[in-house]
Chains A and B, each alone.
Chain A
Amino acid sequence: RKEVEQDPGPFNVPEGATVAFNCTYSNSASQSFFWYRQDCRKEPKLLMSVYSSGNEDGRFTAQLNRASQYISLLIRDSKLSDSATYLCVVNIGLTGTASKLTFGTGTRLQVTL
């Protein structure tokens, strides 16, 4: 089983649509969870951290289910500028030690007019 598994997509959605991405992870000792965004041939950029209580940042909502080892990202009112690859990322480093991020292969989103 892959350490972090995502549907590669692509997801093609019209502007204004709501789109959801899912991710599962295999290491139950994982400490923290993130969604990163990566544009073509660019560095990953942190979109948001993910907490069990669920968290929202504008049009983006992330959710973590530790029991199911499942992470989700919801994007509402999609915009053309949201077109990118969304990376599910898990930190298996221990608190007080260096981070060790494990990346999924990413889900490609294409928002169209």
Chain B
Amino acid sequence: EPEVTQTPSHQVTQMGQEVILRCVPISNHLYFYWYRQILGQKVEFLVSFYNNEISEKSEIFDDQFSVERPDGSNFTLKIRSTKLEDSAMYFCASSRDGTTNEKLFFGSGTQLSVL
């Protein structure tokens, strides 16, 4: 089965530093997503991206966050100035189209620890 790949698997950073989380979605997919999961809590939607622009973002996705598809294969999440509460597992996902029952493929996640 095709896979979404994420790097790095673990990222440790100091509060206030910028981090970039990287994802390679499945090659023929058109929709891209970031979700996060704080330890012991539910998976939460951050942002969706289609046709080189944000489709929707949650209230979590404030001005400290940005997404980019810098080339034909990578999809990145940047956190400009990390806070302690940004510590979480960040999952990238992609889907082929916008049909409501379309399966989302999740990557294995990047565990971000902000110290």
* A residues with CB within 8 A of B: 31-32, 38, 41-46, 49, 87, 91, 93-106
Contacts and interface: CB of A to CB of B under 8 A. Distances in A.
Task: Give me the 3 closest cross-chain CB pairs, A-B, nearest first.
Answer: A98-B48, A43-B106, A98-B55
Contact of B98 (A44, A95, A101): A95
A101 B35 contact: yes
Interface residues of B, number: 28
Interface of B: 31, 33, 35, 41-45, 48-50, 55-56, 89, 91, 95, 98-104, 106-109, 111
A46 B91 CA distance: 14
Given A49-B101, A103-B42, A44 B33 contact: no
Contacts of B95: 98-99
A44 B42 CA distance: 11
Given A41-B89, A46-B103, A95-B99, A104 B33 contact: no
A49 B108 CA distance: 21
Contacts of A45: 106
A43 B100 contact: no
Given A43-B107, A98-B48, A98-B50, A103 B43 contact: yes
Nearest to B51: A98
